[in-house]
């Protein structure tokens, strides 16, 4: 596969680092320009969502994409859903091309990719503005080979699902080619609705009962989708439709 993406990104690879997202912010602090892909074979302080740690195992994919999109700052949150859809497409392609069974790949709001209810990958979007330039860091972790020990969560890996990769770089190249094409389409097409529709087709537990802990209270109701801002929409027992931009989501078994 031609590595068309690599012509548009500076690739940095570390044997070990604290966090690829942290390295991206160090680059930002130094005033760098241009797009970067940062890969770590191992992370000593991997970052997950909601300030949780991400266990990094040698052999899995740990990466960050550093970009400076010239779009309204309000659109940055759309990237989490774009990346999730691109990850889904990439994972599905590897599964189709392997002799693996065809599992159910779904997207859990706001930033997880699941296979048969088990977490395979996660996304962490961080952003900042320095000297008038908007920087976005997209942290991505994919269990390509090994299953990390995650408290209170069912986790899997591509290897566990029957996808045999030579190394995580195989997945990186395929994903980045997909991301690059979709990212520049996203920049030019100021229309979140298309991404939203595609994400909703793949949404985990849509129209089922969920509970959201937003740090202040817990709200239970039916997961009705996401709005044009990417916020989750929950219909309560009183038929109120509430929207939340962040929180920890759990599901009824």
Residues 170 and 222 in one domain: no
pLDDT, position 235: 97
20 class by beta-carbon count within 10 Å (0-12 exposed, 13-18 middle, 19+ buried):
buried
The answer on 196 and 221 residing in a single domain is: no
Considering the domain architecture, whether residues 162 and 217 belong to the same structural domain is answered as: no
Cβ atoms of 97 and 219 within 8 Å: the answer is no
Evaluate whether 71 touches 82 at the Cβ level (below 8 Å). no
- Say what the pLDDT of residue 175 is: 97
Domain count, the chain: 2
Assess whether 193 and 219 both reside in one domain: no
77 and 30 in one domain?
A: yes
Confidence of residue 46 (pLDDT cuts 50, 70, 90): confident
The structure's pTM equals 0.93
CATH number at residue 39: 3.30.930.10
CA distance 193 to 182: 14
Average pLDDT over the chain reads 92
245 shares a domain with 128:
no
Beta strands, E only, the chain = 10-17, 36-43, 61-67, 105-108, 112-115, 118-130, 133-142, 209-213, 218-226, 232-235, 241-244, 248-251
Q: Are residues 216 and 247 in the same domain?
A: yes
If asked whether residues 153 and 190 sit together in one domain, one would say yes
Q: Specify whether 76 is located in the same domain as 193.
A: yes
Let me know whether 37 and 132 are in one domain.
yes
Q: Domain end: 160, 185, 200, which one?
A: 200
- Percent of the chain at pLDDT > 90 equals 78
- Tell me the pLDDT tens digit for each residue of 111-170: 999 999 999 999 999 999 998 899 999 999 999 999 988 777 899 999 999 999 999 999
Domain that holds residue 103: 4-200
Task: List the CATH number of the domain containing 218.
Answer: 2.30.30.100
């Amino acid at each position: 596969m031609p590595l068309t993406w690599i012509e548009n990104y500076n690739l940095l690879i570390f044997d070990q680092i604290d966090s690829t997202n942290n390295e991206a912010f160090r680059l930002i602090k130094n005033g760098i320009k241009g797009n970067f892909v940062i890969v770590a074979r191992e992370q000593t302080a991997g970052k997950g969502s909601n300030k949780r740690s991400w266990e990094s195992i040698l052999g899995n994919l740990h990466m960050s994409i550093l970009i400076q999109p010239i779009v309204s700052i309000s659109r940055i949150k759309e990237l989490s859903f774009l990346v999730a859809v691109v990850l889904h497409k990439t994972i599905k392609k590897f599964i189709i091309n392997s002799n693996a069974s065809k599992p159910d790949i779904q997207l859990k709001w706001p930033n997880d990719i699941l296979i048969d209810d088990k977490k395979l990958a996660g996304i962490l979007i961080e952003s900042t503005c320095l000297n008038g330039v908007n920087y976005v860091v997209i942290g991505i972790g994919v269990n390509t080979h090994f299953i990390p020990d995650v408290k209170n969560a069912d986790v899997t890996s591509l290897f566990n699902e029957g996808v045999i990769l030579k190394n995580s770089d195989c997945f990186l190249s395929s994903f980045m080619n997909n991301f690059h094409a979709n990212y520049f389409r996203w920049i030019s097409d100021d229309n979140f609705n298309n991404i939203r529709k595609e994400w909703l087709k793949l949404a985990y537990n849509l129209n089922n009962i969920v509970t959201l802990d937003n740090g202040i209270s817990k709200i239970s109701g039916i997961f009705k989708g996401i709005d044009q801002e990417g916020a989750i929409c929950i219909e309560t027992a009183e038929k109120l439709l509430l929207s939340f931009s962040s929180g920890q989501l759990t599901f009824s078994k």
